[in-house]
């Protein structure tokens, strides 16, 4: 039996699935195990199937797989929903005394483990702790030392007082003891190793929020929307500690305009939303670009169009972020490919925004945003954070940028396209700007030469950025392989693990994960060096494949997924081999 443990708790929304899953994930992480979590949730507050899955191992884990070893099923539907991931030897923990589960029996070959969750919880002090009883039972089933739960419970219930913590710890013990008495651990074959490694456990939204603070973001405005809301919830209360403010706006139109105002006043500002919100923000996006205001706009993609599937994965907004908005709008588009990159790319986005005085789209997806993963804390190195505020002009050097009438020129057509910038309060720097075409003073104009000069100036900033920055990619696997796989966003983790499966089938691939979507690395050479090129993305039409084909003037193979669920490593390995000229069988 591999050391890999795939655990899940499932039930109805409102059953405390999330907090229970999180407690278990934290316990594993504190025990020095690598953890990767995923959530199945529906767009409703109570009821409806929901699950929290935790994969853990002593080795690197970067994705979910089609396998469940221990399942806590609060409802029968939980078992049905996960049937294809359960296998011989899977343990199913449920409350056999619960009316709705009375007649339930685990499918053949699986280990049926009824535990009186509610009754034992009541013994410990309250029925509400039935999930914790189940956690204790799961610890025993997986042979995972229950002491690891204690700290996680302290963290979860710390603000509710010592007695609540102790009751929960007791509830877990009762679950553990019940399984010890009623079952023989040897029958399960799970033996979970712990290590001395220190890990932190966080999701992509939290990493984006943390990156924003590290980058000096001081103003955040947003409107609640799945799956971007965690960014706002993370920042609220924390941004204030650093002299900042989180403003919940009345809508997305307001959110981006507030952020624009704060940015013009000199604060590093950000808004985050998902697809529908990005549509609403598109109008102001043009103003941000035309007024040359540095702003980070984060799009945590979900399934679209329209309201689509709000709680499901998709990477369908690439075209919107690359091309959205009326007129031609210079922009930068950065897309982190892993949770730790969410931190680093957010910091970079703020620097790029101020350096080039442009809006920067920071594009993440649901699978990145709500997934938690363990990292060594050094991956979030605060000492390496550098701040570049660009061409900020103070009172001492303002004279250089005044015209002969002592007027400040916010849109001075510098050769690199980047003008000097003054912040309100700077003496002598007062100026206006507008979304209308304007001259170097920011004043409306329709003069043909000035129009051309200003359009060229704004576009020049992108060309300057192209030549000054390193629009690199992340590479994995065998760089000499004839098979090249390209992807963006959250697919990186699944693909990295898919490569392990492919190795076993003797299929070697070169994998390039692209974090910069505009400007983006020129991959022509890499594409030409490969025999076959496969582009992996979570959308139906292959938006990323389209732009890469356009760049490299070639046709690429595509692996697309748009059922609302992220790629799983083993599934992806299979899909890749199907595309190969000589398809291979992948052992899973």
* Contacting positions for other proteins (CB under 8 A): 30, 198-202, 206, 210, 213-216, 218-219, 221, 238, 240, 242-245, 247, 249-251, 253-255, 257-269, 283-284, 286-287, 291, 377, 380, 382-383, 385-387, 405, 423-436, 443-444
Least distance in Å: CB of 443 to other proteins?
Answer: 5
Least distance in Å: CB of 233 to other proteins?
Answer: 13
Closest C-alpha among 112, 64, 192 to residue 568: 64
Least distance in Å: CB of 218 to other proteins?
Answer: 4
Cβ atoms 369, 336 nearer than 8 A: no
Least distance in Å: CB of 90 to other proteins?
Answer: 30
Q: Which is nearer to other proteins, 109 or 424 (CB)?
A: 424
User: 93: Cβ–Cβ under 8 A, 6 or more apart, which residues?
Assistant: 70, 71, 72, 73, 113, 114, 115, 134, 137, 138, 141
Determine if the peptide bond prior to 519 is cis (ω within 30°).
Answer: yes
User: 214: Cβ–Cβ under 8 A, 6 or more apart, which residues?
Assistant: 343, 347, 382, 385
List phi, psi (to 5°) of 222.
-160, 170
Q: How far apart are CA 335 and CA 472, in angstroms?
A: 12
Least distance in Å: CB of 360 to other proteins?
Answer: 17
Least distance in Å: CB of 213 to other proteins?
Answer: 6
**β-bridge partners, 247:** 221
Tokens found for residue 79: 């078992």
Q: Which is nearer to other proteins, 198 or 447 (CB)?
A: 198
Q: Which is nearer to other proteins, 77 or 389 (CB)?
A: 389
- What is the layout of strands, in order, in the sheet containing 557-560? 474-477, 510-513, 483-487, 532-537, 557-560
Cβ atoms 509, 554 nearer than 8 A: no
Q: Which is nearer to other proteins, 201 or 569 (CB)?
A: 201
Cβ atoms 275, 316 nearer than 8 A: yes
Least distance in Å: CB of 438 to other proteins?
Answer: 9
Q: How far apart are CA 238 and CA 180, in angstroms?
A: 43
SS3 label, residue 392? strand
Q: Which is nearer to other proteins, 424 or 583 (CB)?
A: 424
Q: Which is nearer to other proteins, 98 or 443 (CB)?
A: 443
Q: Which is nearer to other proteins, 161 or 377 (CB)?
A: 377
Q: Which is nearer to other proteins, 309 or 423 (CB)?
A: 423
Tokens found for residue 521: 């690395």
Q: For residue 17, how many C-alpha atoms fall within 13 Å in the half-sphere facing its CB? A: 31
Q: Which is nearer to other proteins, 388 or 578 (CB)?
A: 388
Residue 402 DSSP one-character state: B
Least distance in Å: CB of 267 to other proteins?
Answer: 4
Q: Which region, left, alpha or beta, applies to residue 108 given φ > 0 means left and ψ of -120 to 50 means alpha?
A: beta
CB atoms near residue 153 (< 10 Å): 23
Least distance in Å: CB of 423 to other proteins?
Answer: 5
């Amino acid at each position: 039996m591999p050391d890999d443990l795939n655990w899940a708790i499932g039930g109805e929304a409102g059953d405390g699935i999330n907090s229970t899953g999180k407690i278990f994930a934290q316990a594993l992480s504190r025990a020095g195990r690598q953890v990767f979590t995923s959530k199945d949730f529906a767009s409703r507050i109570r009821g409806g199937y929901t699950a929290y899955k935790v994969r853990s191992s002593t080795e690197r884990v970067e994705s979910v797989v089609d396998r469940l070893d221990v399942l806590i099923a609060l409802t029968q539907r939980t078992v049905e929903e996960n049937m294809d991931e359960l296998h011989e030897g899977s343990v199913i923990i449920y409350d056999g005394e619960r009316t709705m589960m009375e007649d339930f029996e685990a499918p053949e070959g699986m280990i049926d483990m009824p535990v009186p969750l509610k009754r034992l919880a009541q013994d410990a002090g309250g029925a509400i702790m039935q999930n914790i009883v189940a956690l204790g039972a799961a610890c025993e089933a997986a042979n995972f030392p229950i002491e690891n739960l204690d700290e996680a419970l302290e963290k979860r219930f710390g603000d509710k007082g010592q007695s609540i913590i102790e009751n929960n710890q007791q509830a877990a013990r009762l679950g553990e003891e019940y399984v010890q008495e009623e079952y023989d651990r040897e029958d399960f074959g799970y033996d979970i190793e712990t290590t001395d490694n220190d890990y932190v456990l966080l999701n992509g939204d939290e990493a984006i929020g943390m990156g924003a603070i590290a980058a000096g973001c001081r103003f955040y405005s947003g409107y609640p929307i799945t799956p971007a809301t965690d960014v706002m919830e993370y920042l609220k209360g924390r941004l204030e500690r650093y002299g900042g403010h989180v403003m919940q706006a009345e809508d997305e139109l307001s959110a981006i305009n507030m952020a624009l105002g704060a940015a013009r006043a000199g604060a590093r500002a950000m808004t985050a939303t998902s697809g529908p919100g990005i549509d609403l923000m598109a109008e102001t996006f043009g103003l941000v670009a035309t007024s040359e205001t540095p702003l980070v706009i984060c799009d945590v993609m979900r399934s679209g169009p329209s309201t689509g599937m709000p709680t499901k994965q998709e990477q369908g907004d690439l075209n919107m972020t690359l091309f959205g908005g009326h007129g031609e709008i210079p922009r930068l588009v950065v897309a982190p490919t892993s949770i730790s990159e969410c931190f680093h790319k957010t910091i970079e986005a703020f620097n790029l925004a101020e350096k080039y005085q442009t809006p920067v789209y920071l594009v993440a997806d649901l699978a990145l945003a709500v997934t938690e993963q363990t990292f060594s804390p050094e991956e979030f190195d605060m000492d390496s954070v550098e701040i570049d505020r660009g061409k900020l002009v103070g009172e001492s050097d303002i004279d250089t940028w005044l015209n002969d009438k002592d007027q400040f020129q916010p849109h001075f057509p510098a050769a690199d396209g980047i003008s000097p910038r003054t912040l309100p309060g700077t003496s002598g720097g007062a100026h206006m700007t507008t979304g209308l075409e304007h001259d170097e003073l920011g004043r409306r104009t329709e003069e043909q030469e000035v129009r051309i000069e200003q359009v060229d100036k704004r576009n020049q900033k992108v060309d300057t950025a192209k030549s000054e920055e390193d629009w690199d990619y992340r590479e994995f696997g065998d760089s000499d392989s004839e098979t090249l796989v390209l992807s963006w966003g959250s697919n990186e983790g699944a693909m990295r693990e898919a490569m392990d499966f492919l190795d076993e089938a003797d299929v070697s691939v070169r994998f390039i994960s692209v974090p910069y979507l505009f400007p983006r690395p020129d991959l022509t050479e890499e594409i030409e060096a490969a025999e076959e090129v496969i582009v992996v993305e979570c959308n139906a039409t292959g938006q990323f494949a389209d732009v890469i084909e356009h760049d490299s003037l070639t046709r690429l193979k595509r692996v697309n997924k748009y059922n609302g669920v992220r790629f799983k490593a083993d599934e992806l390995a299979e899909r890749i081999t199907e595309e190969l000229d000589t398809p291979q069988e992948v052992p899973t």
